[in-house]
Amino acid sequence: MNWEPLFLTFKLALLTTVILIAIGIPLAYWLSNTGSRLKPVLETLVSMPLVLPPTVLGFYFLMAFSPNNSFGSWLDDWLGVKLVFSFSGLVIASVIYSLPFMVHPVQSGLSGIPASLTEASFVMGKSRWETLLKVQLPQIKPALLTGIVLSFAHTVGEFGVVLMIGGNIPGKTKVASIAIYDEVEALNYAAANFYSLVLFAITFCILLAVYLVNGNYLKRFWK
Amino acid sequence: MIKLDIYKQLQAATGTMRLRLDLNIESGQFITLYGASGVGKTSTLRMLSGLMQPDSGQISVGDEIWFDAEKKINLSPQRRKVGYVFQDYALFPHMTVLENLKFAQAKNQKSSSISDLIELMELGQLQNRKPETLSGGQKQRVALARALVQKPKILLLDEPLAALDSAIRHKLQGYLKKVHQEFALTTLLISHDVGEIVKLADYVFQLEDGKILKQGTPETLFIDQKLSGKFKFTGEVLKIQQEEIISIVTVRIHTDVVKVVVQHEEASALKTGDQVLVVSKAFNPLLYKIDT
């Protein structure tokens, strides 16, 4: 059996999740605090991947990053980066595609913390950063876990965006979901079944773990 | 010396309210802000602590300027170094009592002040408990101790005792008085309870509609205007004053406070906190129309 597409899928999901932690939490923090008039616009943009067909996103990525267009050729000329049909392009597309899955839980978690807690921390002389790290984030652990796991799982389940912008290059952009489609087209049902079964089992386990942890089921059995 | 000369337009439930205050507070005083809900008491504390920004005016403490709208000075709450006890206590739920106190420490502060506070507020037994397992009065003590960890010069108390029953309230009033003196604090307390104010405060500002309606010592504000009549009330002894030939007992009846003259022998049978019956027989009660 060829494990490469599966390996690629989880590498992509892991990288995407790490990047989403780095940009999703600050973005959620800003959205939960701001009174800016830009907030609804930004919230809409963050949520767009939930409703748009993945192909639409993929299509515009393809247009934007193509070396035939000004932005794509600028990237190629100045940074030497080709984002179309490459793994780095897949990562960027996945980050945007999974953004709402990280931002939404964290944002609603942060908004749910009583204002007096953060204010108490400010009055004690603690900076915003220290307050976020030591007061706010520890209180939204379930929301953080949900955000991280959903981002990961959603990236694992990606198909349309990957197909549009990544194509089907073995070892570079051929992730498991594409491989399944590929094998079915080639009437190679055994291989398709293998990939499908692995994805099914792993995503089931991940999501089950989240529900167990957030529902405090584990504590009930272990205490 | 705290000088507060501020203006702020607030969005209240009843519409826009203009908060216009000019307060001078001597350091070391125990000040109470008194008044109905929504007259701007909490906003005043928030502006003093830097959590809310006034629209215009100045705030200065000693020779430091904390806020000046014209010179665009606005010290962050982090740099104002005030102790603040919130109405909901604001204890961090994921930390134990001890961790809550430790979090409040400044970076290079020794931990001896924490053990002193634990002793002073009698928190030794509760150190390793999480806030959710504490009673209201215990939470209040932790919140008060936490506000004092950094040894602030100014302590702000936003109705800290409102949600507690009278016995615990009584005890905590004692703690407040103790820490006010021990730490040489300037304390600003928001309270609705006249008995509490008479017991604790040196000076009272009564707010109404964003302005100071009356100010003075609690005695001049609450006690001198009260009249007794041919009635029977139950009340609580707040203060017993020994004079040359008689004693004066201050009694709280619900939210009102009256002074009763008694013999020394009668007074010696009473102590602060006793429940008493206030009866008047010999005089005809007088009625005064209240101007509204």
pLDDT in tens, chain B (292 residues): 899 999 999 887 778 888 999 999 998 999 999 988 888 899 999 999 999 999 999 999 988 899 998 999 999 999 998 999 998 999 999 999 999 999 998 887 777 788 888 988 889 899 999 999 999 889 999 999 999 998 899 999 998 887 777 778 888 888 899 899 988 999 999 988 877 888 889 999 999 888 888 898 888 887 655 444 456 677 888 888 888 888 888 988 877 888 888 888 888 888 888 878 787 766 666 667 766 5
pLDDT value for A84: 80
Number of H helices, E strands in chain A: 13, 0
Q: Which candidate in A124, A126, A129, A140 is best for mutational testing of the B interface (most B CBs within 10 A)? A: A124
Contacts made by residues A5-11, CB under 8 angstroms, sequence distance 24+: A5/A170, A5/A174, A5/A175, A5/A176, A5/A178, A5/A179, A5/A195, A6/A176, A6/A195, A6/A198, A6/A199, A8/A87, A8/A171, A8/A172, A8/A173, A8/A174, A8/A175, A8/A176, A9/A156, A9/A175, A9/A176, A9/A177, A9/A199, A10/A156
pLDDT value for A139: 92
Number of independent structural domains in chain A: 1
Judge: A134–B82 Cβ closer than 8 Å, yes or no: no
Q: CA of B201: how far to CAs of B32, B168, B173, in Å?
A: 6, 19, 11
Token pair listed for A22: 């780095």
Assembly ipTM: 0.76
| Residues of chain A neighbouring B86 (CB-CB closer than 8 A) | 116, 119-120
Residue in B52, B32, B24 with CA at minimum distance from that of residue B190:
B32
Residue in B133, B143, B70, B131 with CA at minimum distance from that of residue B104:
B143
| Residues of chain B neighbouring A137 (CB-CB closer than 8 A) | none
For residue A124, give the CATH number of its domain: 1.10.3720.10
- Highest mean pLDDT of the ranges A33-37, A39-43, B112-116: A39-43
Closest residue, chain B, to A131 (C-alpha): B103
Q: Which candidate in B79, B86, B113 is best for mutational testing of the A interface (most A CBs within 10 A)? A: B86
Domains of chain B as residue ranges with CATH: 2-222 (3.40.50.300), 227-279 (2.40.50.100)
pTM of the model: 0.78
pLDDT value for A221: 62
User: Domain span at residue A208?
Assistant: 4-222
Tell me the per-residue pLDDT of A75-108, one tens digit each, with 9 for 90 and over.
777 877 777 888 888 899 999 999 999 999 999 9
| Residues of chain B neighbouring A124 (CB-CB closer than 8 A) | 103-104, 146, 149-150
Residues with Cβ within 8 Å of residue B150, at least 6 apart in sequence:
A124, A125, B81, B83, B104, B105, B106, B109
